[in-house]
């Protein structure tokens, strides 16, 4: 008799380095990224902030291979990189339960990781629940579990909590902070919430007109409270205005 898989052990990833040199991207005649240069260390957490149209989502899409670019874009050392994207919309399939959505795309021998990921995001016992039976915060937890179950080396988050209420968003911040510490994935987060950026990441990049105009290190241990980042948030608000 084959033993049942044990749902234990972290969903760890290696984390990968990112090296961009003179990166350009355009939609037709409209230039979005302009000679952008950036290095990210393996396992580093980076937030992208700035006004709409500054190039944040385009940079994320370029890293995901969804936007054509000119210049140098190097992720990792040449070996295949597991990349996962989490969007503001949960993008769950309505005809699948929570476990089915998380397991989507996983090879059959690895599907026990879907149950582990649901457990890690606090949804053990809701494996059979359909998306319409879950709250907005729970659906985003399923989306996060789906990304983590693949053990990504590179995790790209495009305003994943923007549609949530303040209390649910705070809960998701605490959850994501813990899971990122456990997994070790290199992470880029697009957000308009400066507090979110400063609480969750090691480095905050301010983009404007397709360029990085500020690169702010956050030299504080995780987890962080709102009071811990208040001075840095004031500094970023002044830069944005």
- Residue 6 located in a structural domain: no
Phi, psi of 19 (to 5 degrees): -135, 115
pLDDT at 116 over 50: yes
Mean pLDDT for 105-121 is: 85
**Residue 204 has what pLDDT?**
95
Phi, psi of 146 (to 5 degrees): -60, -40
The size of the chain, in residues, is 241
- Residue 145 located in a structural domain: yes
Whether residue 222 sits in one domain with residue 174? yes
In terms of residue numbers, what domain contains 112?
Answer: 94-151
**CA proximity to 45, closest of 232, 215, 203:** 203
Q: What is the pTM of this model?
A: 0.89
**Residue 43 has what pLDDT?**
94
Alpha-helix runs per DSSP H in the chain? 56-63, 98-103, 112-120, 136-149, 166-183, 194-200, 230-240
Q: 10-24, 66-80, 128-142: which has the minimum mean pLDDT?
A: 10-24
Pull the structure tokens for residue 77.
Answer: 């050392």
**pLDDT cut 70: percent of the chain above it:** 94
Q: Is 72 helix (H, G, I), strand (E, B) or coil?
A: strand
Whether residue 44 sits in one domain with residue 163? yes
Whether residue 234 sits in one domain with residue 158? yes
Contact 24, 34 (CB under 8 A): yes
Fill in the DSSP letter of residue 226. Answer: G
Whether residue 206 sits in one domain with residue 104? no
**Residue 112 has what pLDDT?**
85
**Residue 2 has what pLDDT?**
34
Would you call the peptide bond into 223 cis, given omega within 30 degrees of 0 as the criterion? yes
Predicted confidence band of residue 4 (pLDDT cuts 50, 70, 90): very low
Mean pLDDT for 131-148 is: 93
User: What's the whole-number average pLDDT of the chain?
Assistant: 88
Tens digit of pLDDT for each residue in 146-163?
A: 999 988 999 999 999 888
- Chain-centroid distance of CA 4 in Å reads 31
Token pair 């549609």 in the structure block, residue: 163
CA separation for the pair 122, 55 (Å, rounded): 34
């Amino acid at each position: 008799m084959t033993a049942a898989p044990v749902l234990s052990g972290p969903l760890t990833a290696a984390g990968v380095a990112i090296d961009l040199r003179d990166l350009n991207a355009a939609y037709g005649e409209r230039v979005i990224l302009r000679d952008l240069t950036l290095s990210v260390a393996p396992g580093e957490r980076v937030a992208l902030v700035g006004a709409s149209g500054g190039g944040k989502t385009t940079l994320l899409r370029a890293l995901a291979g969804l936007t054509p670019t000119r210049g140098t874009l190097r992720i990792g050392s040449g070996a295949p990189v597991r990349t996962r994207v989490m969007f503001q919309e949960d993008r769950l399939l309505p005809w699948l339960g929570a476990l089915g959505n998380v397991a989507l795309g996983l090879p059959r021998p690895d599907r026990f990781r879907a149950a582990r990921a649901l457990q890690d995001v606090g949804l053990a016992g809701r494996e059979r629940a359909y998306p319409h039976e879950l709250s907005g915060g729970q659906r985003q937890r399923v989306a996060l579990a789906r990304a983590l179950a693949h053990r990504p080396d590179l995790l790209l988050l495009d305003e994943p909590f923007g549609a949530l209420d303040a209390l649910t968003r705070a809960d998701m911040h605490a959850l994501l902070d813990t899971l990122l510490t456990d997994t070790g994935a290199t992470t880029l987060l697009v957000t308009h919430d400066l507090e979110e950026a400063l609480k969750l990441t090691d480095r905050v990049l301010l983009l404007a007109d397709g360029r990085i105009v500020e690169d702010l290190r956050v030299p504080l241990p995780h987890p962080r409270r709102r009071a811990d980042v208040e001075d840095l948030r004031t500094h970023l608000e002044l830069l944005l205005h």
